[in-house]
Amino acid sequence: MRIIFTLIMCISSVVFQTTLLAQDVTTTETTQNIDATKLLCPDADFWGKKMLTGVCWSCLFPVRLLGMTIFDEGDDLPDGATKKAFCACSGDEGLPTFGVTGGAWLPARLIEVVRKPYCSPILGGTSFNSGVRLWGGHKEVEGDGTDKTYYNYHYWAFPLYAILQLFVQNNCNAGGLRNLDMMYMSELDPTWNVDELAFFMNPEAVVFANPLAVAACTVDCATTMVSMPMTSLFWCAGCWGNLYPFTGNIASDASAPRDTSLLTARVLASLHRKALAHKTYGDDALCGGQIYPMIPKQQYKLSTLFPLAEANAEELESTDANGVKHTKILDNCCHWIGESTFKWGEHRTIPGTGEDYVYLIWRYTECCLTGDNDH
């Protein structure tokens, strides 16, 4: 009887251990599948507190009204900003509507730069298509000793102040979009991955494909580090490299923040050439954005949202001797086109889940404030 009982216990133990092992294998396989999905198409956690805490609210400044600067830290005004105090725009009936000039840096667009085609970190790591064509990322090229980088991008409208119903008048919102909308996908644009096709969009690239033009970008880099980008060197993206050609293929230096930032600048330049982006400052833009085929570099600032946001509300809080918490609003958490990544971004890469980037595009906007939202 004792032998039979012992035999039953041994068999039960073997069956129980086999069941546990099978469960562990299933759990491990499920975890590996989830982790692999996150690695290939990460979630930027955009639909949470990051939509507010990840925004660099201090980038709003300086604010101008009646041609005067109300608040200004660093004199971050583009060359050619209006100096007018009063203005007038034509109404629906052709009659002029008078107002005062105003200007500020407004969050306007989002650009996600991704390796996996059709992947959207903004939409929680959703993939629109399971195809593997146009896969991007950093690649080592055998034979010539150089590295290449290619990324896909998605261009989103993100007029945050219009969404929050703050400081919004129709002529202050170039493009007219008032919600989060996808405006452009590089996967559907053959000029983004084929340099020969891109040549027809920017034939002047031939002029700047020489050592002298590239060397001139060092001047733009130095100027951007201490002030703002140079409008005269329009073919340069400061410390990031050459803006031309307007494609997703670049010679890489193994710096993901630099590579994705350069591609973001090329995206903006390409969209201006395609008349899909507007110039939003200056006397001619007070009544609405103007089509401008060359990128106005001083019009834009960038702020990283993912993988590590440049703005962090927790870092802005401080406590005084009396135990009272204070929040700073003047910390610099956005940067010019071409500003060296060593100042703001080289540490903002997480291997695996943090190799795709989301940038918030700030656009300096001037308009005629008439008080009439129909204009």
Token representation of residue 178: 């008032």
Same domain for 72 and 34? no
**What pLDDT is recorded for position 313?**
53
Q: Which domain does 21 fall in, by range?
A: 1-40
Same domain for 36 and 87? no
Q: Is residue 374 part of a domain?
A: no
Same domain for 129 and 9? no
Q: By the 8 A CB rule, do 128 and 120 touch?
A: yes
Same domain for 16 and 48? no
Same domain for 122 and 159? yes
Return the closest-CA partner of residue 358 out of 250, 267, 249, 295.
267
Q: Is residue 375 part of a domain?
A: no
Please name the residues in contact with 164: beta carbons below 8 A apart, sequence gap of 6 or more. none
Same domain for 6 and 65? no
Same domain for 195 and 328? yes
**What pLDDT is recorded for position 318?**
60
Same domain for 160 and 128? yes
Q: How does strand 63-65 pair with strand 68-71? A: antiparallel
Q: Is residue 344 part of a domain?
A: yes
| Domain count along the chain | 2
Q: Is residue 119 part of a domain?
A: yes
Whole-prediction pTM value?
0.84
**What pLDDT is recorded for position 129?**
81
Q: Where is 111: in which H helix or E strand?
A: strand 96-114
**What pLDDT is recorded for position 8?**
43
Same domain for 202 and 242? yes
Same domain for 61 and 28? no
Written as tens digits, the pLDDT of the chain (375 aa) is 444 434 444 444 434 344 434 444 344 443 444 466 677 899 998 988 788 888 988 888 889 999 888 876 657 899 999 999 999 998 777 788 899 999 999 999 999 999 999 999 999 999 888 766 767 776 665 555 567 889 999 999 999 988 888 767 888 888 888 899 999 999 999 999 998 999 998 999 999 988 899 999 999 999 999 999 999 999 999 999 999 999 999 887 678 899 999 999 999 999 999 999 999 999 999 999 999 999 999 999 999 999 999 986 555 556 666 666 655 554 668 999 999 999 998 888 887 777 899 999 999 999 999 876 655
Same domain for 162 and 259? yes
Same domain for 24 and 58? no
